[in-house]
Amino acid sequence: MAEPRKRKSAADRRAEIVETAIRLSARMGPDRVTTQHLADEVGVTQPAIFRHFATKGDIWLAVGDHIVDQMEDLHRDGAGDHGGDPHGTLQRVVGHHFVHISDRPAIPAILYSHELQAENAALREKFTTVLDRRRKSFAGLIRAAQAMGVHRADLVAEDAARLVSEAMHGLSMRWLLDGCEDNLADTGPRVLGPLIDGFRA
């Protein structure tokens, strides 16, 4: 006799809906994901989705919280104390980013979706804050490397940090649009390596 299907807790179901929204975003683009798509993929009715999230915007806010938490954990683990090697730390954090995106290809599409954020100011603020924080952390590492004489003194740390951040985004989006065909965890750091090495004094 088959075991009765175990009903998921509300927290587990919410987490499943969030994970499903992220997964579908990689397949079809975040702005095209509907609550019916989510319901079909999760295996529940559309009203069941709205028992866990009052609005579609609330689903994306939960997705945003999930992505931000992961990004901050990733950055905290990668940057932390640079241990006297801010240049190497910057390279390591960039490498961690590409490994993370390889595992979660929808993230760049969600982070930079105009459609999602145009209709959800709270989501836009959430993503702006975490991206600004990452860029400031990069700038701090560059300034630390300048103070040690490792990076060029004429660099504007904030501009260099923005260049690295935008290059990371551009490569990630290009990889996603190309169907995730190559190994981003390998090609990303390889492509950005000469850029970061160009900061050396």
For residue 3, what pLDDT is reported?
Answer: 45
pLDDT in tens, 14-64: 999 999 999 999 888 899 999 999 999 999 999 999 999 999 999 999 999
Work out the average pLDDT over 152-168.
96
The tokens of 19 are what?
Answer: 């994970």
How many residues are recorded in the chain?
A: 201
- Asked if residue 74 has pLDDT above 70, the reply is yes
Neighbours of 198 (CB within 10 A): 12
Q: H or E segment at 182?
A: none
Q: How confident is the model at residue 77 (pLDDT cuts 50, 70, 90)?
A: low
pTM across the whole model: 0.85
- Decide if 103 is inside a domain: yes
76 occurs within a structural domain: yes
Number of domains in the chain: 1
Q: Assess if residue 83 is contained within a domain.
A: yes
CATH number reported for the structural domain that contains residue 146 in this entry:
1.10.357.10
Question: Following CA atoms 119, 120, 125, 131 in sequence, which dihedral angle do they give, to the nearest 10 degrees?
Answer: -80
35, part of any domain: no
pLDDT digits (tens, 9 = 90+) for 88-136: 999 999 999 999 999 999 998 899 888 888 889 999 999 999 999 999 9
pLDDT reading at 4 higher than 70 = no
Is residue 201 within 8 Å of 152, Cβ to Cβ? yes
45 within domain boundaries: no
The answer as to whether 128 is a domain residue is yes
Mean pLDDT of the chain: 90
Instruction: Answer whether residue 200 shows pLDDT above 80.
Output: yes
Q: What is the mean pLDDT of residues 176-194?
A: 92
Question: Does residue 3 form part of some domain?
Answer: no
Q: Report the pLDDT value the prediction gives residue 26, as an integer from 0 to 100.
A: 87
Q: What pLDDT is recorded for position 88?
A: 94
What distance, in Å, lies between the first and last C-alpha atoms of the chain?
A: 71
Does the pLDDT of residue 199 top 50, yes or no? yes
Range of the domain at 87: 56-197
Residue 78 belongs to a domain: yes
pLDDT of res. 131: 92
> What is the model's pLDDT at position 2?
43
